[in-house]
Amino acid sequence: MRLANRASTVQGPACSGAVDPAILKNDRAPVFLFDRAAKRAFDIVAATVGLVLFAPAFLLVSIAIKFDSRGPVFRLQMLHGYNNENIPRLTFRTTMVSETENVTSFVTRVGGVLRRTGIDGLPQLINVLRGEMSIVGPSPHVDALNNSSAEQLSLIQQRQRMKPGITGWAQINGCCRESNKVMRQRIECDLYYIDNWSFLFDIKVILMTLFSKNAYLS
């Protein structure tokens, strides 16, 4: 399988603050059809198993959110995904809701715990099962980041050749805050992941997600 022989040596850039000039010039190699099918099969199995295993947690978290503050249990956030398609990312609500039903920036008590532990992102397993996201992949971005420079927009489009992931190389390196300051670092990590993708790399990212503090602060 393409790039599989490179997985054992994958180290990757930990958000260094500067993008390799080669990233600005080279076209990214396509992800082959068989690779996409195999990755999709893994996503379906992993998301199904995850939803079954975490079903009790879904129930308990939903109850805690409803008791802690008024408003819906889930939050929908429109993001850009594969081929720049808009996807409704599903997460547990972690903020207060105003009288006009708009989610505000005030984090609830339960929401703070959910964010620190990464549990707020579990509903994204539903996005994976629906084929909108992947377990591991490039980090999705919001509309506000489309105001980035033309250079950054070109690189963002290259990241959209693969489905965005619940976790990824950028996430575990703490490069997923929604700001232009870390965007170039984030793109560098995402493009490195695309170029070096393999199942072993995905497994490495999943294991690092479980033990990386940065993954929960992104």
Give per-residue pLDDT as tens, 120-140: 999 999 999 999 999 999 887
Token pair recorded at residue 79: 């993001």
Vertex 151 angle, CA 150 and 152, to 5°: 90
Give residues with Cβ within 8 angstroms of 129, minimum separation 6. Answer: 43, 44, 47, 48, 51
Q: CA-to-CA distance for 11 and 196, rounded, in angstroms? A: 10
Residue 208 lies in a domain: yes
Left, alpha or beta for 127 (phi > 0: left; psi -120 to 50: alpha)? alpha
Q: Is residue 8 part of a domain?
A: no
In a domain, 10, yes or no: no
Task: Establish if 3 belongs to a structural domain.
Answer: no
Exposure string for 41-69, b = 16+ CB within 10 A, e = fewer: ebbeebbeebbeeeeeebeebbebbeeeb
Q: Give me the pLDDT at residue 214, please.
A: 60
Percentage helix, strand, coil, to 5, in the chain?
55, 15, 35
Q: Considering its fold, how many domains does the chain have in total?
A: 1
The better pLDDT of the pair 214, 59 is held by: 59
- Segments forming the whole domain that contains residue 112: 17-217
Across residues 138-143, what is the average pLDDT? 73
pLDDT digits over 38-80, tens only? 899 999 999 999 999 999 999 999 999 999 998 999 999 888 7
pTM, to two decimals? 0.76
